[in-house]
Amino acid sequence: MGETILVVDDEEGIRKLMDITLSDMGYSVHTAENGESALAIFRRIHPPIVLLDIRMPGMDGIELLRTMKAEQPDTEVVMITGHGDLDLAIKSIKYEATDFVTKPINMDILEIALKRAKEKISTRHQLREYTENLENLVREKSERLVRAERLAAVGQVVEAITSSTKNMAEDLDVGIKFFNEMPCLVSIHNRDLKVVATNQLFKERLGDKIGSDSCEIYTEGAGGREECPALRTFETGKGVRSRETIRKSNGEEMPVIVHTAPITGGDSDVELVLEISADVSEVQRLQEELRTTQRRYQQLFDEAPCYITVQDRDLRLMAVNRQFKEDFGDGMGSHCYEVYRHRNTPCPNCPVADTFEDGESHQSEIVVTSKKGEQNNVLIWTAPIRDAEGRIVQVMEMSTNITQLRKLQDHLTSLGLLIGSISHGVKGLLTGLDGAIYRVELGLKKKNMEQIESGWDVVRLMVDRIRNMVLDILYFAKKRDLKWERVDVLSLARDVAATVEPKMGGHEIEFVRDFDPSVGQFEVDPGVVSSALINILENAVDACIENGSKERHKIMFGVKEEDNEIVFHVKDDGIGMDRDTRENMFTLFFSSKGTRGTGLGLFISNQIIQQHGGAIKVDSEPGQGSHFYIRMPKTLPEGAKTPKSEIDNGVTVDGPLSVS
């Protein structure tokens, strides 16, 4: 049986259709007719995917979505909406719905939405598995390191063993049983420098040496009898530590670290010497294995196809992988929110902070800015890193770049918003056009020229608005060919200033023109370039109006020539912009004006300037105003020019472009 899916809809026909269709696709389908029964099924079967109708009696789809996400955040929910519920559909995206489809349901679109949901589920599973593998690898290698260190540090426990051995000296057999459990070579020597007892490992490696000389097991490199570790302990009464080489029973040589400890009698004289030898080659082998594992871990860490960071409780970056360094710089020691978001304070609902708080893995999605200024959507998954006592000391954060998925989703969402906006706009324009036609017809019947002219003026106005709307849509959907010509720069600048200046009336704004009279001409599409400049100036007016800290404001509009380029300046002393706003201001549908902005204006203005081979640079700080530099070549690049034959044949669209 395939992936489990829950279908929630109050229409029985849709539930039956979805049951048949999704079952054919291989899903295990459960259905519910309302929110209450759906919630009961959801809590019982925990489906990974839910297909949910927005409008239902009782508990509606939005409320049910929020409840499901609160109880099981990993559930992927695809909303079903009617054509009139677009606002609710957009709202559901804010509440972490995966996608939405409209009624009547197009099965191809539904299949794409479900495929996207399954891809998100698969991504989460892979990230979770990857995290668990890393944790297991670190845990396993840490345990090996501890074992190796214990083996190499036998000398640290010799005194404790000696203390126990004092009480065991009279019963040597019991002592040997104790020594047999030790993972190293153990022997006991008397004052005649003879071996009187050994543990089992000693016998296996070196043979039965009881009664042999204490220094017999060492190679000539040990320095002879006078350098024998047991002899030095008898002479000094103190334990010694040295590196020696032992010859095994098969003739092989084995490097060891030797630790000795004196065993005293009742008169405090040294009666016996305990000698413990740790195999250095085994320690070295484990250390080399650990180093190899560390290198492999680092390679895995660096080559992982995602951003990986390790952060402390202050959200500082303690380790970063190669892909992170390539896109965001080294960043070691910096706060993650400084590197990722260019913020001065932690991000709200930070998943790393949540993991430090509750010890659980958390998921989040944010937009980050690379060191090149690129905006990327990333899906974040966190995992705690604990010490030997189980305390969380650090958190590992893995981020997968899902920008392309979000662009597709945003495009679909934007398309829905655009269609809705166009529908309402066209409806209003048609209503106005109907009224104007009625007035014209009424004037014709009455032969009233004043009424005819009044009605015709409204017709022209409505047609002009329809033209501007169509051009906006064309710029959003497809690049518009430029209808270029050689234009006098000063004339264009004066026309733009004359258009914008009346909008400053009543707002105590001083408008300053700074035009270089020697700028000459340049090749542009005057209609669209004028619209772009007007839009930037209108944003400057809005910024001044919103800055209530000053009674009077000033806007400077200038133009000059630099390096065979025409440079327009728009400078204001308005509210200014923070870094996040500066980096996103030319993004489609981004607006800092709330409901008063469409998010199209600066996006289209930037497209226009780039299409002319130019660029826009902005300097701005909060409370310090903004300064726009619009640079355009005096001669259009060849790729931007539309052939004259196409212009003459009317291929390009005429008229100015409205982007306000």
Domain ranges of the chain: 4-125, 155-285, 304-400, 406-477, 485-648
Fill in the amino acid letter for 496. V
pLDDT at 596: 47
CA–CA dist 210, 214 (Å, integer): 9
Q: Select 4-125's CATH number: 3.40.1390.10, 3.40.50.2300, 1.10.3720.10, 3.40.1550.10.
A: 3.40.50.2300
Q: What is the pLDDT of residue 164?
A: 47
DSSP string for residues in 506-524 = TTTEEEEEEE-TT--EEEE
Q: Per-residue pLDDT tens for 558-604?
A: 999 998 899 999 999 998 988 877 877 777 655 565 444 445 667 77
CA angle 369, 569, 563 (to 5 degrees): 90
Instruction: Name residue 658's amino acid.
Output: S
pLDDT tens by residue, 437-456: 878 888 888 888 888 888 88
DSSP 595: G
| Other beta carbons less than 10 A from residue 470's beta carbon | 15
pLDDT of residue 243: 85
Burial class, 100, CB count within 10 angstroms (exposed 0-12 / middle 13-18 / buried 19+): buried
- Token match 């400049």: residue? 533
Please tell me if the domain spanning 155-285 has the same topology as the one spanning 304-400: yes
Instruction: Find all residues with CB under 8 Å of 110, minimum gap 6, and list them.
Output: 21, 51, 78, 101
pTM of the model: 0.36
* Cis-peptide into 104, omega within 30 deg: yes
Question: Cα-flanking dihedrals φ and ψ of residue 239, to 5°?
Answer: -70, 150
3-state SS string over 50-98?
Answer: EEEECCCCCCCHHHHHHHHHHHCCCCEEEEEECHHHHHHHHHHHHCCCC
Q: What is the pLDDT of residue 595?
A: 42
Answer whether 239's CB lies under 8 Å from 233's CB: yes
pLDDT of residue 589: 58
pLDDT confidence of residue 155: 44
Mean pLDDT value across the chain: 80
Architecture of domain 155-285: 2-Layer Sandwich (3.30)
> Strand, helix or coil at 261?
strand
Angle subtended at Cα 641 by Cα 640 and Cα 647, rounded to the nearest 5 degrees: 135
Strand partners, 79: 52, 100
Q: What integer pLDDT is reported at residue 599 of this predicted model? A: 54
Residue 556 contacts residue 574 (beta carbons within 8 Å): no
Residue spans of the chain under pLDDT 70: 1-2, 83-85, 138, 141-181, 220-226, 266-267, 408-425, 427-429, 464-465, 468-480, 588-601, 640-660
Q: Which CATH number fits domain 304-400: 3.50.50.60, 1.10.287.70, 3.30.450.20, 3.40.50.2300?
A: 3.30.450.20
Q: What is the pLDDT at residue 655?
A: 39
Q: Which CATH number fits domain 485-648: 3.30.565.10, 3.20.20.100, 2.40.50.140, 3.40.50.620?
A: 3.30.565.10
